[in-house]
Structure 1
Amino acid sequence: MRLLLTGARMQWWLVRRQPDDLLTLCTIPFTVLVLMSIVVHSGRADLLPNAFLAPVLIGLWGFATGLAAEVLVTERWTRSLELGMAAPVDSHPVYLGRVAAVLVLGVVPLAETWLLGWAVFGVTPTVHHPGVFWAAVGASLFAMAGTGSLLAAFMLVNDNGHYQNFLSFPVYVLSGVMVPVEHLPEFLRPLSHAVFLSWSADLMRDALAPAPVAAVGWRLLVVVALGAVALVGGRLALEATLRRARAEGSVAYA
């Protein structure tokens, strides 16, 4: 836990000194305005929860595929990855703490979306089941931290790989952040079950609706389980990558 908190403090220190890392927060208002304009001016009040949640989940995923995924790549570029590898303690909790600190910022798009909806369009959704909603947010942050650590290990393998767009838009479709999964083509629906955001999006939408939310515990468990699988996979992938780098003498870029 001490190493985890150390990594989180380090990442917060870096973010404060590199404000360009927060560019994702600058793009969220435009996403909100586009989606909310479509929904409000088409008279589809029933789609307001979708228009509110989509920018939130898009922003969260944007931090995971952007800043969080490049934590280790940045370490490699700055030649500080070797220091972590030479440390007498396991460096994985430190990197996980850095990833988790980044994803805490994923809550900010939620405030941005609600504020813009109220200020520009005069509408805000009613959270009929706040306990379920915030439990889904917490489970999603955990799952995104696990996913971020897996992506960070994957990015470290590639010398100059930046796959944010490739990893973003297919996930937005499969997870149904704006259009629910049941409206996807039949052959795509099974794939969405492997994307934790699809479970998060459905659960959050149900939390905004007045009807009782079904199978809350099971759905939260799926989100957490998918995040845990990614977390374990990220740790194993990082260990394998660093072990190969030591063997080949290729820790830093030439």
Structure 2
Amino acid sequence: MRLFLSGVRTQFWLVGRQPDDLLSLCTIPFTVVMMLSIVMHAARPDLVANAFLAPTLIGLWGFATGLAAEVLVGERWVRALELSMAAPSAMHSVYLGRITAVMALGVVPLGETWLLGKVLFGVTPAVHHLGVFWAAMAASVFAMTGTSLLLATFMLLSRNSHHYLNFLGFPIYVLSGVMVPVQYLPEFLRPLSHVIFLSWSADLMRDALAVAPVLNAGWRLLAVVALGAAALVAGRVLLAVALRRARELGTVTYA
């Protein structure tokens, strides 16, 4: 726990020293304007909730791929990864703490989206099931933390990892139904959405904004947490393998 908290403090300090790491927040207003403009001009107030949730979850994914996944790569470029590997204690908890700090900042797009919707369009969706909504948001941040650790390790292993992450963005947005619910996708694509935790998060948060009771909220929250935990375990194991391989080869550069 001490190493984990040390990683959290370190990452917040780095973000304070390098505020340009938060530039992804500058893309959120454009996404909000695009989504809400389409919905408002189409006279579809029933889709306002979708237009608010899409930038929020897209922003969460943006933090994961734009900053959290760069933690290990950044360590390598500044020649700090070698020092970490030589430390007497395993540094996995420190890296996880740093990634967790980044994903905690991933909640900011939620407030940014709500504020912009109110200021620019004069609308904000009502949250009828506040407890479910915030539970889903917390579960999503946890799941994205695990996913970020997995992505960070892949970036450490591959020279072309940025290309893969850039490719993943829009397929993830479509398959997870952050704007268009999964049930409207072609039938052969729907099973793929079940292994993407964002699809569970988006559906659950949409239901939390609706008046009707939220069905099976506990099981759906469990699905988000379970998928996040699976990614976290996979990332932790893969990171250990990657660092052990680097020690055996005597280098942390790309092969």
TM above 0.5, yes or no, is yes
1:61-95 Cα deviation digits (max 9, x unpaired) = 00101100010001011110011111111211100
Query: Does structure 2 conserve the Cα–Cα contact (< 8 Å) formed by 1:77 and 1:252?
Result: no
Alignment of structure 1 residues 92-103 onto 2, 5 Å:
92-103=92-103
Query: Does structure 2 conserve the Cα–Cα contact (< 8 Å) formed by 1:180 and 1:202?
Result: yes
1:113-142 Cα deviation digits (max 9, x unpaired) = 101111111100000000000000000000
Alpha-carbon distance, 1:250 to partner? 1.9
CA distance in 1, matches of 2:34, 2:252: 43
User: Which stretches in structure 1 are left out of the alignment for 5+ residues?
Assistant: none
**Residue in structure 2 matched with residue 133 of structure 1 by the alignment:** 133
Alpha-carbon distance, 1:32 to partner? 0.2
Alpha-carbon distance, 1:107 to partner? 0.7
**Residue in structure 2 matched with residue 118 of structure 1 by the alignment:** 118
Runs ≥4 residues deviating over 6 A: none
Query: Does structure 1 conserve the Cα–Cα contact (< 8 Å) formed by 2:157 and 2:254?
Result: no
Query: Does structure 2 conserve the Cα–Cα contact (< 8 Å) formed by 1:77 and 1:253?
Result: no
Bigger mean CA offset, 26-35 vs 12-21: 12-21
1:203-227 Cα deviation digits (max 9, x unpaired) = 0000000000000110000000000
CA distance in 2, matches of 1:226, 1:43: 36
What amino acid is aligned across from residue 211 of structure 2 in structure 1? P
**What TM-score results when the alignment is normalised by the length of structure 2?**
0.98
**Residue in structure 2 matched with residue 175 of structure 1 by the alignment:** 176
What amino acid is aligned across from residue 151 of structure 2 in structure 1? L
User: Which stretches in structure 2 are left out of the alignment for 5+ residues?
Assistant: none
**Residue in structure 1 matched with residue 27 of structure 2 by the alignment:** 27
**Residue in structure 2 matched with residue 215 of structure 1 by the alignment:** 216
Alpha-carbon distance, 1:15 to partner? 0.8
**Residue in structure 2 matched with residue 246 of structure 1 by the alignment:** 247
Give the root-mean-square deviation of aligned CA atoms: 1.1
**Residue in structure 2 matched with residue 83 of structure 1 by the alignment:** 83
Alpha-carbon distance, 1:160 to partner? 4.7
**What TM-score results when the alignment is normalised by the length of structure 1?**
0.98
1:179-236 Cα deviation digits (max 9, x unpaired) = 0000000110000000000000000000000000000110000000000000000001
